[in-house]
Amino acid sequence: MKNKKFKSTVALGITGIVIVFSGIGILSDIAIVDKKCSNIDFSSYENSDNFLDPAKTVDNFHPICNWLAIESLSSSYGKKYYSEWFNSLSKSYFETNEDGSLKNLYANSEGLATFIYISCRGHFWNLPLHQRKIPVDTYVSNQFIYEKSIVHNQPEYAVRGSDYKYVDSAIDKAVSPINLIAYHGVEYMETEFYDQLKDNITQLPNGEYNYQNCIGKTITSYGWLSCTLRWSWAYNYSYGEDWTSNPVKYIPPLKEPAMFRIKIPTHSIGVSYVSNWEYVKNAQINREQSVMIARNKSYIIENWEKDNNGVNIFDIKLIN
């Protein structure tokens, strides 16, 4: 199955002018950044029935400003609402060797465990959790250490299975401050969703699947859901890429590529914006504008549609 990914862009801001290059370095357009593209009023989503949908919000901006708007929205959202949460986390640093290189991936604090989960993709904890199993001690290849500030020179590093509890503790402290929509590409490890919905999924004569009867049903995620405020990031994960395999395999757990558009109501417990924080010194995770939802949360499926690429879009709402 071919993974239809969005073309990335790089934007350079020069005194209010944005020069946007395509992924292959060709000048494609020049646009003036309107002030509204970097100044979003969150207050209207705090105590109302309106949900902030980042994709639809930036649709009203200049096309070239879209990329910058999501960056600005994400940063402003985190700083405005989650600084107190971040400051409440227990903090520590990695155990290192005498030369300063990484000794292991043991976590002794909420901040460090959250950092390890985000920067190393966290499959060593989240995969067993989605299978309703307790994570065990294991080793992680250095290819999954994405944070460049971490000095590592070993092929793999020890991870403690029990350290997932620090992540639980961190995320359980957080509360959604506004009505927000976040996006999640259904990952290869999230097999519980098919188990819960299989009696409502119909395979058509042409081999495709129809999920119409799933509307109104409730699903529960046994592991954490790593979401994003950027539609394209979630879309790229919708193909069920198993990044731990070599070569990479695509195993969509709902039989076809799928992504969730998740309504997160105000005051929902166990929802945090986890990007843009300096969990450990000189290492600030900015990847994917990530919103993290605690495990064992349930969602009701409100709508479903299949797009032109065959990706199934489920509108779901967090209900506990």
Closest of 96, 130, 90, 93 to residue 110, by C-alpha? 90
For 148-175, the pLDDT digits (tens) are 667 677 888 999 999 999 999 999 999 9
CA distances from 318 to 55, 228, 230 (A): 19, 15, 19
pLDDT tens-place values along the chain, 320 residues long: 444 443 333 344 433 444 444 343 333 333 334 445 556 778 888 877 889 888 877 655 455 555 666 777 788 888 889 999 999 999 998 888 888 788 899 999 999 999 999 888 899 999 999 999 999 999 988 877 766 667 677 888 999 999 999 999 999 999 999 999 999 999 999 999 999 999 999 999 999 999 999 999 999 999 999 999 989 889 999 999 998 887 888 999 999 999 999 999 999 999 999 988 888 776 656 667 899 999 999 999 999 999 999 999 999 999 97
pTM of the model: 0.85
Question: Which are the contacts of 30, defined by CB distance < 8 A and separation ≥ 6?
Answer: 17, 18, 19, 20, 64
Q: How many CB atoms lie within 10 A of CB 44?
A: 12
Integer Cα distance of 268 and 318 in angstroms? 8
Please give the Cα distance from 277 to 292 (Å, whole number).
14
Kindly give the pairing relationship between strand 258-264 and strand 312-318. parallel
**Helix axis angle, 110-119 to 164-172, nearest 10°:** 110
Token pair recorded at residue 173: 């402290």
Report the 10 Å Cβ neighbour count for 223.
Answer: 24
DSSP string, 192-224: HHHHHHGGG-EE-TTS-EE-GGGTT-EEEESS-
Instruction: Report pLDDT for 101.
Output: 82
Report helix, strand or coil for 21. Answer: strand
Tell me if 287 sits within 8 A of 118, measured CB to CB.
yes
User: In 3D, which of 189, 132, 129, 193 has the Cα closest to residue 161?
Assistant: 129
C-alpha–C-alpha distance, residues 50 and 94, integer Å? 42
- DSSP for residue 96: B
Write out the two tokens for 276: 């843009």
Q: Rounded to 5 degrees, what angle do the CA atoms 257, 263, 265 make?
A: 155
User: Residue 235: which of 3, 2, 1 has the closest Cα?
Assistant: 3
